[in-house]
Amino acid sequence: MFDFLNELICPELLVLVPVLYLIGFALKKSAFKDKHIPWLLGVVGILLSTVYLIANLEVAGWRDVLAVVFAGITQGVLVAGASVYVNQLVKQKGEKE
């Protein structure tokens, strides 16, 4: 599974998976509603991915801006999805069959 994720997610952005997992864990312990946690992680993942891409890519014109925004959205959704997936793996590991 890690190889599959590594092909889809930029290697530099894989660090966001545990970061989002910890944010989700903290939100779970707070008064935040569980059903909203994946949505918030998605938004945070998109924002962090886009900020990283803008900081590390040369943006010269509107096409570059569109490409960075598209990549930020897709990478953000992927890292948030991977974070939720990791959370489910941890949960299921703790459950007894």
Residues 6+ positions from 50 with CB-CB distance below 8 Å: 68, 69, 71, 72, 73, 76
The predicted structure's pLDDT at residue 88: 87
pLDDT score of 11: 86
- Spatial neighbors of 54 by CB under 8 A, at least 6 apart, are 68, 72
User: What average pLDDT does this structure show over 29-49?
Assistant: 93
Residues 6+ apart with CB under 8 A from 20: 41, 44, 45, 79, 80, 83
User: How far is Cα 45 from Cα 60, in angstroms, rounded to an integer?
Assistant: 24
pLDDT at 4: 65
Q: What is the tens place of the pLDDT at every residue in 49-67?
A: 999 999 998 888 999 999 9
pTM, entire model: 0.85
pLDDT at site 97: 58
pLDDT at 91: 84
Q: In the structure, what pLDDT confidence band is assigned to residue 86 with cuts at 50, 70 and 90?
A: confident
